[in-house]
Amino acid sequence: MKGVYKRIPLFNCSHVEIGGGSFVSGKSAYHPDDIPLIQRSANIYLRGIREVALKKTGGKCGLCGCILLSGEIPWEVHHVAPKFLKGTLSKKNVLPLCKECHLEVTNAVKARDIDAIKEYVDQNILWSEVITWASKSIQNNSGDNSTPN
């Protein structure tokens, strides 16, 4: 039949394996048996970084100053130079922020809120290159869909 197109599915997505093993560990982040092992390894690695971050601020949130050492307030390791701008998990690049403050900073970056970003840069919470990135993104109006972490 000339000019008639029919969609033919080549495979059923439910039968496709989501992920293979990691090249390094041979473990898969999608396999239920491997998830606890991967999480344990990540926690051991991050423990040192978390301690370094807390020492930098004396156990307080780097933005609002609330005390994080009591364990009552959940907190996260914040990257001053964001990972999406090639920020690393180095001692110089991490700060402890309570979850509320971390969400506030992340939302400002995602929204490309130049004024808020400038305030965070002035407070040494964000790297100055974030202003450049946000400005270019707004000027280009390209809909840069890179998701800041």
How do residues 27-72 score in pLDDT, each as one tens digit?
777 778 877 887 777 777 677 888 889 999 999 999 999 999 888 8
Interior/surface letters 113-139, b for 16+ CB within 10 angstroms, e for the rest: eeebbbebbeeebbbeebbebbeeeee
The confidence score (pLDDT) of residue 144 equals 47
Structure-model confidence comparison of residues 64 and 1, the more confident one: 64
**Distance (Å, whole) CA 146 – CA 7:** 32
Is the pTM higher than 0.75? The answer reads no
3-state class (DSSP) for residue 81: coil
Query: pLDDT tens digits, residue range 69-117?
Result: 888 899 999 999 998 998 888 889 999 999 999 999 999 999 999 999 9
Q: Residue 67 has which token pair? A: 């005390």
What DSSP assignment string belongs to 85-101?
A: GT--S-GGGEEEEEHHH
From the centroid of its chain, how far is CA 12? 32
The confidence score (pLDDT) of residue 31 equals 77
Structure-model confidence comparison of residues 8 and 53, the more confident one: 53
The confidence score (pLDDT) of residue 21 equals 47
The confidence score (pLDDT) of residue 80 equals 95
Structure-model confidence comparison of residues 28 and 142, the more confident one: 28
The confidence score (pLDDT) of residue 13 equals 54
Long-range contacts of 140-144 (CB under 8 A, 24+ apart): none
The confidence score (pLDDT) of residue 147 equals 52
pLDDT band for position 140 (50/70/90)? confident
Angle at 8 between CA 4 and CA 9, to 5 degrees: 155
